[in-house]
Amino acid sequence: MGTSSNNPHYRPDIDGLRAVAVLSVVIFHAWPTVLPGGFVGVDIFFVISGFLISSIIFKGVAERSFSLRDFYSRRIKRIFPALVLVLVACLSMGWFALLADEYQMLGKHAASAAVFTSNFTLLNESGYFDAAAEFKPLRHLWSLGIEEQFYIVWPLLIYATVMLRINLLAAIILLAVLSFGLNVGRIDAHLVQTFYQPLTRFWELLLGAILAYAALYSNESYKRLQQRFANLSAVAGLVLVVAALFLLNSGKLFPGWWAMLPTMGTILLIAAGPGSWVNKNVLALSPLVFVGLISYPLYLWHWPLFSFLHIVESSDPPALLVTLVVLLSLFLAWLTYAVVEKRLRHHPSLWVVIGLVAAVAISGLVGKVLQRKDGLPDRPSVVYYKKYEKQMNREAATDAACLEYVSQTGKMLFDYCRANNLQSKKWVAIIGDSHAHVLFRGFSEEFEKKGLGTIVLANSSCPPFIGTATGKTDTEMELCSHRIEQILDILVQEKRIERILIATRGPVYITGNGFGPAEKATTNIYVKSMYGQEKNASYHQIFFNGLSKTIDRIIKSDKKVYYFLENPELGMLPKSCIGRPLAFKTDQPECNVDLSVYKSRMSDYRAGVFEMRNNFPDLSILDPEPLFCDKQTCRVILNGKLLYADDNHLSIEGSRLVAKKFLVTIIPDSLI
């Protein structure tokens, strides 16, 4: 993410712009509400990088002095020194600070970072049960992966256009248009893939390449035009960048069209040239230039420090510690730049390149070993944790028996499909979202004892309510709607299903937000009305109207319906209840949820559920509150067993506790 200040046409204003980019990212991670669009600093980096690196390549090709060997050697000496330091520091810190599953994931991420495929690794991990970003110290290396993937192929493509005598500018513009087209064309249906995939990001680096070509091969008319409108260009670019930083947020479909704000703003600022007023008097200020020079190591250091701070604190860290981490990031970035980068970047020895490649490779191999060895659970610092680990294991989303059954009705669209004892003549179905899925183990064990089969048919963040859907895009909502219909069709048509248990995380769909520090980034998860119905209805009304339609359809098919009220949400990870190594807190964390907080969060939802009885007198409501809560708090651990797998999903033991309690309600002994 950046080049040396010793390139042939060094511009301090570009280092100042790099400072804006990296400080935006750091501020966003430290204080996200201060700069909600700070994440676009990465996009600013992409454009700057495309401009600077392409300028060097174009000039070398034009002068017939460009060498692939020299190019990749310079990239290695530029990128690898700081990367090695950060990888080694994270793997070392992880030995003492991370639990086994966390250390295993860190090893996996270190291995992918060593071969610059972090973006693909994170893409494959994305999903409802994915670990929060704060628990991935190397998550930020996805952008470095995209950048280096670009530079692996970019010089080769330039060579190909020269050898084939293809117009280079036309080729660059065509590639940029195709990449941008993929970006805007896929953003609605494939948001996560568009964010992480290189082909939907390359256009940002190619924008910089287009500007580099224009600057190198410009005629006098172009130069006069540039000088005439330099100040206007710089002001317009600054406005676009500032607008992106303050108007964008994580709820936008990004990159998509929104990425044009920071990228075009960056293009205009660079195009304005070093003589424009903004560039000369703002971006070229000495403090900004200094931060720009250390921007790459600053980007690499800041996120692991924030991440480890969140991990050892098990919650949002206090403001003082956040501020100290920002200062420590700046210090380590300067130290890396002054002691390591400056000494190695222009070192002529080939052994430096070989040594750096070997160091990164060894770091990656160590990471791979950690991944395969399950994060070394017998380390002295975390051996105590082993007895709790299995209690937090998540069940598989599907199994062969359920998949085979559903395949008879067509292609399965929904996410969770579990089955047990289907040879029985009578089944109980559990439907809903992921909170229905986690009930499977406990209820299937109890139902099997009664000679009954169990089947779970559920969606991730898509409750099976008729006429409703969830999703950030129209495509996601349409898919959610189809999933709902498939589940309900199976329920109605399958005669062996006599009883149906509905379980969803109701409060998140009504409020649109997760709960507590563990889910501060979980927003805009409202359940919405499909096809323009109920335009003026509240999310509360839409939720319960959809639930009513689903219950009505099930009852009319002569099946008994049970509704499981949401268990208390924690707002923290249950790992914190066990105690963490290297925690700053010396006291045992408070592992209970205040009853008043729970009731406040659940009040509208619980009231709505109990009001359902007015329309459905035979509806049985299973209320887990007495199981989890006393008169003051709701507990996380009972008799030495964790009741939760994460901040809101029940563990296997929590599922068993609930199943034993409500078995007699669902299956009275008189019916067996």
pLDDT at 238: 98
Residue 353 scores a pLDDT above 50: yes
241 and 211 in one domain?
yes
Q: Which domain-ending residue is among 381, 401, 429?
A: 381
Segment of 35-49, 501-515, 620-634 carrying the highest mean pLDDT: 35-49
Query: How far apart, in whole angstroms, are the C-alpha atoms of residue 353 and residue 73?
Result: 6
Residue with tokens 């991440």: 307
- Beta-carbon contacts of 3 under 8 Å, excluding residues fewer than 6 positions away, are 49, 52, 53, 56, 78
Higher-confidence residue: 592 or 545? 545
- CA contacts within 13 A on the Cβ side of 138: 35
Packing angle of the helix pair 100-114, 142-163 (nearest 10 deg): 20
The whole-number average pLDDT for the span 461-471 is 89
Residue 600 scores a pLDDT above 70: yes
Residue 587 scores a pLDDT above 50: no
Task: Judge contact between 100 and 109, C-beta under 8 A.
Answer: no
**Terminal CA-CA length for the chain:** 67
Q: Which domain-ending residue is among 356, 381, 406?
A: 381
Q: What pTM does this model have?
A: 0.85
Residue 132 scores a pLDDT above 80: no
The DSSP bridge pattern shows strands 528-529 and 468-469 to be antiparallel
DSSP code for 414? S
Q: What is the pLDDT of residues 487-523, one digit of tens each?
A: 999 999 999 999 999 999 999 999 888 887 777 766 6
pLDDT at 199: 97
Query: How far apart, in whole angstroms, are the C-alpha atoms of residue 341 and residue 79?
Result: 9
pLDDT at 522: 66
427 and 287 in one domain?
no
DSSP code for 336? I
Closest CA to 565 of 513, 515, 616, 607: 607
The whole-number average pLDDT for the span 557-570 is 93
The tokens for 217 are: 């091969």
Helix H or strand E encompassing 64: none
pLDDT at 374: 92
The tokens for 635 are: 């507990």
The whole-number average pLDDT for the span 89-97 is 96
3-state class (DSSP) for residue 469: strand
409 and 344 in one domain?
no
304 and 416 in one domain?
no
pLDDT at 534: 57
The DSSP bridge pattern shows strands 453-458 and 497-503 to be unpaired
396 and 315 in one domain?
no
Q: Per mean pLDDT, which range of 43-57, 162-176, 528-542, 606-620 is the poorest?
A: 528-542
639 and 665 in one domain?
yes
The tokens for 261 are: 């704000």
Residue 375 scores a pLDDT above 70: yes
Using only the alpha carbons of the chain, give its radius of gyration.
28
Packing angle of the helix pair 295-313, 12-30 (nearest 10 deg): 10
The whole-number average pLDDT for the span 18-37 is 96
Q: What is the pLDDT of residues 221-279, one digit of tens each?
A: 778 888 889 999 999 999 999 999 999 998 889 999 999 999 999 999 999 999 999 99
pLDDT at 420: 96
Q: Which domain-ending residue is among 381, 400, 420?
A: 381
Residue 2 scores a pLDDT above 50: no
Average pLDDT over the chain, rounded to an integer: 90
Residue with tokens 């009578």: 426
Instruction: Kindly report the CATH number assigned to the domain that includes residue 407.
Output: 3.40.50.1110
Query: How far apart, in whole angstroms, are the C-alpha atoms of residue 34 and residue 37?
Result: 9
Residue 7 lies in a domain: no
424 and 351 in one domain?
no
Q: How buried is residue 425: exposed, middle or buried, by Cβ count under 10 Å (0-12/13-18/19+)? A: exposed
The whole-number average pLDDT for the span 307-324 is 88
The tokens for 64 are: 């017939």
Question: Residue 633 phi/psi, 5° resolution?
Answer: -135, 165
The whole-number average pLDDT for the span 639-664 is 91
Q: Per mean pLDDT, which range of 289-298, 491-500, 506-515, 586-595 is the poorest?
A: 586-595
Residue 6 lies in a domain: no
Residues, the chain: 672
Residue 128 scores a pLDDT above 50: no
Residue 205 scores a pLDDT above 50: yes
Residue 5 lies in a domain: no
- Beta-carbon contacts of 664 under 8 Å, excluding residues fewer than 6 positions away, are none
Question: Residue 164 phi/psi, 5° resolution?
Answer: -90, 0
pLDDT at 388: 77
Residue 4 lies in a domain: no
The torsion region of residue 451 among left (phi > 0), alpha (psi -120 to 50) and beta comes to left
The whole-number average pLDDT for the span 395-411 is 89
The whole-number average pLDDT for the span 418-440 is 95
Packing angle of the helix pair 295-313, 286-293 (nearest 10 deg): 70
Residue 524 scores a pLDDT above 80: no
Residue 557 scores a pLDDT above 70: yes
Confidence of residue 590 (pLDDT cuts 50, 70, 90): low
pLDDT at 588: 46
The tokens for 474 are: 């129209």
Residue 14 scores a pLDDT above 90: yes
Residue 2 lies in a domain: no
75 and 214 in one domain?
yes
3-state class (DSSP) for residue 328: helix
pLDDT at 107: 98
Range of the domain at 473: 392-671
Per the structure, the count of domains in the chain is: 2
3-state class (DSSP) for residue 348: coil
Residue 218 scores a pLDDT above 60: yes
Residue 498 lies in a domain: yes
Question: Residue 206 phi/psi, 5° resolution?
Answer: -70, -30
Report in angstroms the alpha-carbon separations of 259 from 200, 240, 348.
11, 11, 39
